[in-house]
Amino acid sequence: MTETSGPAPLLTDRLRHWATHRAHRPAVTHVAFPGPDSSGVHSTLSWHGLDARARAVAGRLRQTVRPGDRVALLLPQGLGYPASFLGCLYAGVIAVPLFTPDLAGHGGRLAGVLDDCEPAHVLTDGPSREAVERATGGRLPVTEVDALAEGPPASELPRPAPDDVAYLQYTSGSTRSPAGVMITHANVVANARQAVTAFGAAPGRTTTVGWLPLFHDMGLVLSVAAPVHAGFGSVLLDPVAFLESPVRWLRLLGRYPGAVSAAPNFAYDYCAGRIGADEAAGLRLEGVAALLNGSEPVRPATLDRFLAAFGPAGLAAEALCPAYGLAEATVLVTADRRDRPPVTVECDAEALAAGRVEERPGGTARLAACGRPAGQEVRVADPESGTVLGEGRVGEIQVRGPNVAAGYWKQSGRPAGTFREGWLRTGDLGALHGGGLLVTGRLKDLIVVDGRNHHPQDVEETVRSAVAVVRRDRLAAFGVPHGDDGGEGLVVVAEVRRGTRVDGERTRESLARARAAVAARHGARLADLVLVGAGAVPRTSSGKVARAACRAGYLSGALRGEEL
């Protein structure tokens, strides 16, 4: 698409353009798996069809709500979701991407978000309507988007201002109660453009293939906003379909040349651990262009395992792209280059604990380089004083750019604690190294034992490696009050593999092994290791370990191994 003079085009401008110039080309495809042996049932909307359905949603909303009202999307993953989201943008209302009430374990979060955003209307589909009305108490008007007739022409719909809020991206709650990040029309267009540039995506040679839920920031931008901005196709599968059989995702990646996708670190470990040699042998991944690894700290060991498992299927090392982002920056902040394999920095563990990145070949602390800023500025600063730190110094990552959000919904005082002199304070820790970014963890998750800093994901990996019965990426390390001097004790809660029987003797043996490994690698004493049953470690709606919730459960006595 040729840029024109004047204001930067909104997503709805892009959608209207592709509906005219690529009317019958595939825009979005949903792949359903009705049974365990299904190869997938594909349903597709063309650009014209996607635009028509979005306009139908907009037409309905224009009859029932006012510009600026919130509209909650309580929809399953499918064709109706992007159409509903874009319909909200067409109508000039504020979309609130959420999930259906049957998402296990997140009913409380859904109720809290609905209470916070106070929607004037709910969009759902026919099969979900009854559950939605129960969840909302019948208090809100509900529209079934799959039953709408044709909407008005795009020329009759309002065009929002770039600085108007387009949607509220509710955070997953891994470190605090969910909060609605206000993403403007200009923010989402800027980040879509940044993502497209970072991955070299273009119509005719790129297709995004995603299972991340569309209420998740990475899922929404990579599977909806970026494709609509640049005019390439998007393929969706349900997160449950991925969790049931992760090979489905990889098969779809191989089916679409130039495939681009994204997932948190745990998903790559999950694939390497769950997909057997026979299934892997049938994969053809030489056409995969980029697999973004982000949303939680990227572990070099995971990159190694994933490439070892699927490199023989043609996956190029250069396709693995460690990245960093957060909802307050719409999503993407940095991404590694695609012309080289991922870069791992081996560091001196003692120096890293003291806040310095010092390369040392064979060092026990390994960090994945998360690339350079994608069309924005990144710096590292002391979280207390705000002093900007130089290369190789660990501090709080701060971001400035056109993709940085305006603040939090109904929390006018919150930006003062989140922004400093125009820079977004991310709450994440990292260091600049070689012109790129190394991410070391969350500021709120940092564990201080005897005056030394420990990042929870490093301790979790040490314990998982030392204790064979522990499930990968089902651990939470955190600090608890210890002694009378205000210090912290180091605790790990870990799920054991399904079907594993753990008695008192085995627990004692596991604790001894874990303590020895933590002492050897981190120079710290592990105060407690709690082994719990599969599914007991709290997780956010996007699948990340919720360490704060786990700590609260431990302190309250709810996580004491009773589930075994």
> Nearest to residue 219, comparing CAs of 376, 98, 104?
98
Q: Is residue 230 domain-shared with residue 298, that is, in the same domain?
A: no
Query: Residue 7: its pLDDT value, please?
Result: 65
**Cross-strand pairs, 490:** 479, 526
Q: State residue 172's pLDDT score.
A: 62
Which pLDDT does position 456 carry in this prediction?
A: 84
What residues are paired with 428 via a beta bridge? 442
Please indicate, yes or no, whether residues 229 and 273 belong to a single structural domain of this protein: no
Single pTM value for the model = 0.85
In this prediction, residue 250 carries a pLDDT of: 98
Measured between alpha carbons, how far is residue 343 from residues 9, 38, 260, 269 in Å?
36, 38, 20, 18
Given a contact cutoff of 8 angstroms between Cβ atoms, the answer to whether 298 and 326 are in contact is no
* Residues 439 and 455 placed together within one structural domain of the fold: no
State the sign of the Cα–Cα–Cα–Cα dihedral 457, 462, 465, 470.
negative
pLDDT given for residue 202 in this prediction: 81
Which residue is associated with the tokens 């909407």? 151
CA distances (Å), origin 78, targets 29, 146, 224, 258, 457: 8, 11, 12, 22, 33
Q: Is residue 3 part of a domain?
A: no
Domain that holds residue 435: 259-404+412-443
Residue numbers of the chain with a pLDDT score lower than 50:
1-5, 174-175, 415-417, 562-564
Q: Which residues contact 279 (CB under 8 A, 6 or more apart)?
A: 247
CA distance 182 to 167: 6
Q: Domain ends where: 386, 420, 443? A: 443
Q: Is 179 a domain residue?
A: yes
CA distance 71 to 117: 9
Residue 454 within any structural domain of the chain: yes
Q: Decide: 232 and 201 in contact? Cβ < 8 Å.
A: yes
53 & 132 share domain: yes
User: Do 279 and 198 share a structural domain?
Assistant: no
Same domain, 454 and 376: no
pLDDT score recorded for residue 438: 94
Residues 49, 178 within the same domain:
yes
Domain boundary among 244, 270, 289: 244
**Same domain for 531 and 439:** no
What is the number of structural domains in the chain? 3
